[in-house]
A and B are shown apart, each in its own frame.
Chain A
Amino acid sequence: MRARLTSPQALEKLRAEIAGRRDPEKPVLSICAGTGCVAYGSLKLADAVREEVEKRGLGDKLEVRINGCHGFCERGPLVLCHPHGFFYQRVQPSDVGEILEQSILAGQPIERLQYVDPVTGARAVKQQDVGFYKHQMRVLLEYNGWIDPTSIEDYIAVGGYAALAKALSTMKPEEVLDAIYKSGLRGRGGGGFPAGVKWKECRNAPAPDGVRYIIANGDEGDPGAFMDRSLMEGNPHLVIEGMILGAYAIAHPGHPVGYIYVRNEYPLAVERLGLALEKARELGLLGEKILGTDFGFDIQINRGGGAFVCGESTALMASIEGFVGEPRAKHIHTVVQGLYNKPTNLNNVETWANVPLILTRGVDWFTSIGTGDVSKDPWGGSKGTKIFALVGKVNNTGLVEVPMGKTLREIIFDIGGGIRDGRQFKAVQTGGPSGGCLPASHLDMPVDFDRLTEAGSMMGSGGMIVMDDSTCMVDVARYFLHFLADESCGKCVTCREGLKHLCKIVDRICAGQGREGDLELLDEISLTVEKASLCALGQTAPNPLRSTMRYFRDEYVAHIRDHKCPAKVCKALITFGINDKCTGCMVCARNCPTGAITGERKKLHVIDQSKCIRCGVCQEVCKFDAVDVA
């Protein structure tokens, strides 16, 4: 165990000592162990690397680092070879020997493992040559592909905790707060509320016993969003440092108490954060007398219980107190009376991660990125970068960090590489279940908090789900309505009952039993749910429905009036049939779960519509493109 650091200078000394011990020319093999790559087998790959290194006695020739998410999930498992920066994708354990010999020892790239641009055919030698990375601005994720998240030394080596040292040695709490206020940093969890305003209110709220709670919201519940997870798993100290700075700015001198609330489905994040907290405590970066000053703060981890509504601040706080996660009315804001009725400042994980960067690189650096002008009003623009999870029917699925104000087209086509299987772009869903679906006419819209809201969607936590012409927009609305009806805590009648009825009506439309007047009824109920629900879950719940009704009304009309699903998704409105490309191979008949397909070998098969349950298995197994959907 290392001794506690007793001054900011001691931290700088440690940093110099770590740098002195490390040879910048020594090869480092970085293996991505984000969720995507792990699912592709990157841990087995890591084992193979360790084994080969041992076998060849290369232990002192290179360093093997297991990182958090590198971002380009589509092409996992990903490997980076430093110091040359070679970027390899879809790496298998059988490639390990060659990588060690060629790239690590001989310093040569291996063409076979490089990424080839599907459009230009160009080979990418380094990460920056890949289109997916080239158009990004990776600030928060910069070190995800470099540091080992279990090593505090790695974080310190890249300048970690320098912002804390700077703040504690040269800045008053008010000055730290002022920097965040002037930076215009807005909440990355979805609402986009300026962090500086929140911090100030919390600092100014009366706290007779000095206790103020500092919470990181890592209950990332939006389906299709995993940026907070990647920060918590890939660079946990960045989040922790942000929280310590926040505690200093908001509650010093006083008794700040910290919580990180992590989603139940993220066990690895819990583990990594737990380890990081332990190491920070050991070094005296958490606990009493941080870096030898009179400032003290500690953080504990709370696991969520798998309830989407707990991403809402008051529900989250209720859950920490050991009650069901029901939101409460915020007549008195949580910054004044939050957790245990004490002043509480809650920010999203990504918001916290921005704090150290703003302090080390400066407010001017931060405000030079993004849209609008925040010099007079923190609501005046969207500053800094935002991480998006680019998923769905897009070629390059992954985590994307871009400056605020990039257009949807740049994100989906330049970075995302366009739509899969050569299909047509239809919509992009942003903001999770509270957001909306934007059509092709909005592709050139710059993405920031205010533009997205104007267009009837929202930033949300940054999920960006791309949909193509085979996606039915009514079905998408139905999906979100059912999601929200399931996750509604049930406290407000409008949310509990309103969503249920919206589901019923949309279910009916998808079943081909839509009626004239349904759309007007949907509008009316939506408005009631929106206006009369207590928390953001209910208030924004109709967004996916309303945005699809606004931009894809013709699809609703096709379902209701013509009993047709143009995307051929809604089961009640489609039929499967076999065309004359059928070779009579009998595979579909064998796989049909209801025995609806008949036909002799080498003869055209037929589907009995009365038995067909439209499961689509025949179409999936047919190798001759002989199954049609009409």
Chain B
Amino acid sequence: MDLAKVDRIVDKYQGSPAALLPILQDIQAQENWLPREALQRVADKLQVPLTRVYGMATFFRAFSLKPRGKHICTVCMGTACHVRGAPKLVEKIERDMKIRAGETTPDLEFTLETVNCVGACALGPLVILDGTYHGNITSAKLDKVLKGIGRTK
């Protein structure tokens, strides 16, 4: 990635190590993941050990150390969605896409993620595809939703 972008982000927070979390969030928002050289640059600029940056990047769920797909499909695994059958949806996508939750298809087109709850429990089970919420999902509905981005089994 273009490291000048990282510099701009770090400078925005006056190079303060306390801002490590928002800095990484901003990089991830821009790149969709955290490339190694970006982490190294952040560590250098903030003058903190790379282990601390790496620790943050691996501790928080929001970060990914691998490139993520063009389309991101998130299945809500909150309790309300769980009792309404969310695990079956994850299993179905895993089967159809031949990836596990947290992984990306080799063509970098599709990433499957889970989230602990998005607070839209009335619509459970719920799938979020590229930011759009699809509620009361069944396996047939899921096929239709995924067809929308050209993914079928």
A residues touching B (Cβ–Cβ < 8 Å)?
A: 35-36, 38-40, 73-74, 76, 220-226, 229, 264-266, 302-308, 319-325, 389, 391-393, 397-398, 429, 432, 463, 465, 467, 471, 476, 479-480, 483, 487, 489, 591, 593, 615-617, 620-621
Contacts and interface: CB of A to CB of B under 8 A. Distances in A.
B61 A305 contact: yes
A305 B62 contact: yes
A306 B60 contact: yes
A107 B138 CA distance: 40
Given A305-B62, A465-B80, A479-B79, A617 B121 contact: no
A483 B119 contact: no
A322 B20 contact: yes
B122 A305 contact: no
Interface string B56-99: 10011111000000000000011110111100100110011000
16 contacts: A35-B119, A39-B134, A73-B121, A220-B119, A224-B78, A224-B79, A307-B59, A321-B18, A322-B17, A322-B18, A392-B84, A397-B122, A465-B83, A593-B153, A616-B88, A617-B92
A303 B122 contact: no
A220 B85 CA distance: 23
Nearest to B28: A305
A225 B55 contact: no
Interface string B117-141: 1111111101000000111001110
Given A319-B21, A322-B19, A617-B92, A307 B60 contact: yes
Contact of B83 (A220, A467, A591, A620): A467
Contacts of B20: 322-323
Nearest to A396: B122
B111 to A, nearest CB: 15
Interface residues of B, number: 48
Contact of A391 (B56, B80, B91): B80
B94 to A, nearest CB: 11
Contact of A324 (B56, B78, B117): B56
A302 B23 CA distance: 11
B95 to A, nearest CB: 6
A325 B55 CA distance: 10
Contact of B120 (A73, A308, A321, A480): A73
Nearest to B139: A617
Contacts of A305: 21, 24-25, 56, 59-63
Nearest to A230: B119
B107 to A, nearest CB: 22
Nearest to B116: A223
Contacts of A222: 117
B3 interface: no
A323 B17 CA distance: 9
B18 A479 contact: no
Nearest to B58: A324
Contacts of A465: 79-80, 83
A265 B16 CA distance: 24
Contacts of B121: 36, 73, 224, 226, 389, 391-392, 397
Contacts of B49: none
B115 interface: yes
Nearest to A222: B117
Contacts of B153: 593
Contacts of A617: 92, 139
Nearest to B59: A324
Given A322-B20, A620-B139, 12 more contacts: A36-B120, A39-B123, A223-B77, A265-B119, A306-B60, A306-B61, A320-B18, A321-B18, A322-B16, A322-B17, A322-B19, A479-B82
A616 B21 CA distance: 42
Nearest to A324: B59
A232 to B, nearest CB: 11
A483 B61 contact: no
Contacts of B77: 223
Given A463-B79, A620-B138, A391 B124 contact: yes
B22 A621 contact: no
Given A615-B92, A620-B140, A76 B122 contact: yes
Given A307-B60, A324-B59, A265 B21 contact: no
A221 B116 contact: yes
Given A39-B135, A305-B62, A397-B121, A322 B83 contact: no
Nearest to A398: B122
B124 A591 contact: no
A325 to B, nearest CB: 7
A615 B92 CA distance: 8
Given A40-B135, A615-B88, A225 B140 contact: no
Nearest to A389: B121
Contacts of A325: 59-60
A223 B79 contact: yes
B118 A265 contact: yes
B62 A223 contact: no
A615 B91 contact: yes
Nearest to A617: B139
A225 B118 CA distance: 9
Nearest to B62: A306
A74 B122 contact: yes
A74 B56 CA distance: 38
Contacts of A226: 117, 119-121
A264 B62 contact: yes
A39 B116 CA distance: 18
A73 B121 CA distance: 8
Contact of A39 (B21, B59, B126): B126
Contacts of B138: 620
